[in-house]
Amino acid sequence: MDRILKSNNLTGWLLAAPLLLVLVVFLVIPVIVIVIVSFWQTTEFSIVPAFDLGNYEFLFGSAVTYDVFLNTFKYAFLTWAFTLGIGFTVAYFLAFHIRSQTMQIALALICTVPFWTSNIIRMISWIPFLGRNGLANSALLSMGVVDHPLDWLLFSDFAVILAFVHINTIFMVIPILNTMMRIDKSLIEAARDVGASGAQILWNIIIPLTKPGIMIGTIFVLTLVMGDFITVRFMSGSQSANVGRLISNDIGLLQYPSASATSVVLLLTVLVVVGGLMRVVDIRKEL
Amino acid sequence: MEPRPRSFYILAAFFGLYVLFLYGPTITIGILSFQGPSGGLTFPMNGVSLNWFHELFKQQAVGDIWGSFSRSLRLGLMVMVTTVVVSVMGGLAFRKRFAGSGALFYLAIAGLVIPSILVSLGVGLFFSQAGIPVHWATSGFGAQLTWTLPFGLLVMFAVFNRFNPAYEEAARDQGASPWQTVRHVVLPIILPSLLGVALFGFTLSYDEFARTLLTSGSKNTLPLEIYGMTTNVTTPVIFALGTLTTVFSFVIIGLFLLTAWVLNRRRSRHGSDAGKGMV
């Protein structure tokens, strides 16, 4: 037994070695470097090693930081709510209303294909839609809903959320669909036989059994939105900020220690959120 | 078959709207990229022309689109091959519990959830402090792998969760070595899923922006190039480029799907008919 255990360990580690190597060199060490550099100082021309809490003091002493973190949570929460609502509905339709498996796969693929294309292009694609002279405004004008073009469609929080939802809903659809497909249909039939209404079935059977998928989708959506900087920058026309933009602005100014300190705080925030969610769901089992 | 309930039509309409929401903007810029030479970034169309596509193929004032495309393509292929090989090995490793496998799994999850800009910043700083110049094929390549490998690994988990170990046992019973079992039994069975991993690896790399931002060095990849254009190009030439790369992505996706379909058909044709006549 002991020898088998040992050989399991050996082959396991040999097979996992390349994975471990990449993660250590390009994830663990870089994160450690960020933590170290977050205590460094910035001079006019370079960054110098030090043990200085100044970056953190500045970060926590600035009112902007709190606003920006609040804004980040706002984006994350709103995007989460919309992607969950849309993603659940779409997955529900595919899992319980489409009868042939081929059709299910085809429709799921239709939802997935945009995920394999460029996010930046997909953001740019909103310009002719939402711009001052864009399709949305012309439609609203011609329908008489508004009498002058709306300025807040593009380059606003509205546009940011719209783009987040546009890009990230797929991260809800796929895990939720995956768990829904495993629900034993006879459970639903049994519920119906004893007189449960559609709403009761949804609330008491489907939603509880779909929770793992919802949790996995939630992890993806929250971390992607909280770590984003490009969508906010592009869709808000640089008018709104989130933590990612704070970091990328510092990077743009070569203020690496300050960017690192903000990164450390962001990282801890993300890890706390994910850690909380992972306690509720065993990702490995649910795939 | 029982008749469709009313909820079906409501949900079908919702699904239709969602698909329109997904594809509408892309289709819009597809149309607008054929804008006439005097047309702008929004409707109306000022005539129809290939002007903006011609602009793309001209000697560029705006940047090095074709160079960045070729780098993105090569990088995508590198990431694709690495992701497939390393994910399969990782997936095989995780089938048996080994000491530390739990920690390694959480490390992989960390790769998925750590904000992309941190990876970019961290790898950039690490390389600069270590005195190694950043380059898209070294630091950029590694930074992208921290995102594609965990993705590939999750797909492999999904695959092996559904894998019937009886096939391997049968192979072992007939005297196959572990390597033979993997080579002739496991790999052929999981081959279609590997296409999925490959597709993820390629497209995630080809479209990656944040992780390559600070790790690609002086030569841009295509998404970086496109992002640069958004700040200084105000003509439909950017739509033309967007349309071309989207078409390219569609072609790649189509190729993968076609291969998966062909594989499946060949498999069902060559497959054994054992048990088919029984029920």
Q: What is the pLDDT of residue A6?
A: 57
pLDDT at B271: 63
For residue B5, give the DSSP letter: P
pLDDT at B278: 47
Of the residues A19, A94, A230, A245, the best mutation for testing chain B's interface (the one with the most B CB atoms within 10 Å of its CB) is A19
Q: Identify all chain A residues contacting B254, using CB atoms and an 8 Å cutoff.
A: none
Q: Confirm or reject contact between B104 and chain A (CB < 8 A).
A: yes
Give the model's pLDDT for residue B58: 75
From chain B, the residues in CB contact with A12 under 8 A are: 93-94, 96-99, 101
CATH says A63-286 is which class?
mainly alpha
B26 close to A (CB below 8 A): yes
User: Which of A9-18, B61-70, B105-114 comes out lowest in average pLDDT?
Assistant: B61-70
CA distance A126 to chain B (A): 6
**Structural domains in chain B?**
63-232 (1.10.3720.10)
Across the interface, whether the CB atoms of B86 and A18 are under 8 A apart is answered yes
The predicted structure's pLDDT at residue B127: 93
Contacts A–B by Cβ distance under 8 A = 266
Chain B residues touching A126 at Cβ < 8 A? 25
Residues from chain B that touch A131, judged by Cβ atoms under 8 A, are: 41-42
Distances (CA, A) of A260 to A49, A250, B90: 13, 9, 31
What is the domain partition of chain A in residue ranges? 63-286
d(CA A168, CA A80): 9
Who has greater pLDDT, A164 or B96? A164
Instruction: Give residues 194 to 253 of B whose Cβ lies within 8 Å of A.
Output: 199, 203, 206-207, 209-210, 214, 223, 226-227, 230, 238-239, 242, 245-246, 249-250, 252-253
pLDDT score of A1: 45
CA distance A61 to chain B (A): 22
Question: What part of A 69-128 touches B (C-beta under 8 Å)?
Answer: 86, 89-90, 92-94, 97, 99, 107, 109-111, 113-122, 124-128
Q: Given pLDDT bands bounded at 50, 70 and 90, which one contains residue B279? A: very low
Residue B274 has pLDDT above 60, yes or no: no
Instruction: Give the 3-state secondary structure percentages of chain B, helix then strand then coil, rounded to 5.
Output: 75, 0, 25
CB neighbours of residue A177 within 10 Å: 24
Please report the pLDDT score of residue A3 as a whole number.
53
8 Å CB contact between A33 and B122: yes
The confidence band for B29, taking pLDDT boundaries of 50, 70 and 90, is confident
Report pLDDT for B276.
52
Chain A residues with CB-CB distance to B226 below 8 A: 118, 120-121, 124
Q: What is the pLDDT of residue A12?
A: 85
Among the partner-chain residues A26, A37, A116, the one whose CB lies closest to the CB of B253 is A116
Q: What is the pLDDT of residues B205-246, one digit of tens each?
A: 998 988 998 888 888 888 888 888 877 777 788 888 888 888
In one letter, which amino acid is B213?
L
In one-letter notation, the amino acid at residue A73 is F
Express each pLDDT in B144-156 by its tens digit.
999 999 999 999 9
pLDDT digits (tens, 9 = 90+) for B159-209: 888 888 888 889 889 988 888 888 888 998 888 889 989 998 999 999 898
Burial class of residue A227 (count of CB atoms within 10 Å of its CB; 0-12, 13-18, 19+): buried
pLDDT digit string, tens, across residues A183-234: 988 998 899 899 888 889 999 999 999 998 999 999 999 999 999 988 998 8
> Is the alpha carbon torsion for A157, A161, A162, A164 positive or negative?
positive
Average pLDDT of chain B, as a whole number: 86
Residue A97, C-beta contacts closer than 8 angstroms, at least 6 positions apart: B4, B7, B8, B11, B12
Give the residue on A whose Cα is nearest the Cα of B159.
A287
What per-residue confidence (pLDDT) applies to A28? Answer: 96
ipTM: 0.89
Low-confidence ranges of chain A (pLDDT < 50): 1-2, 5
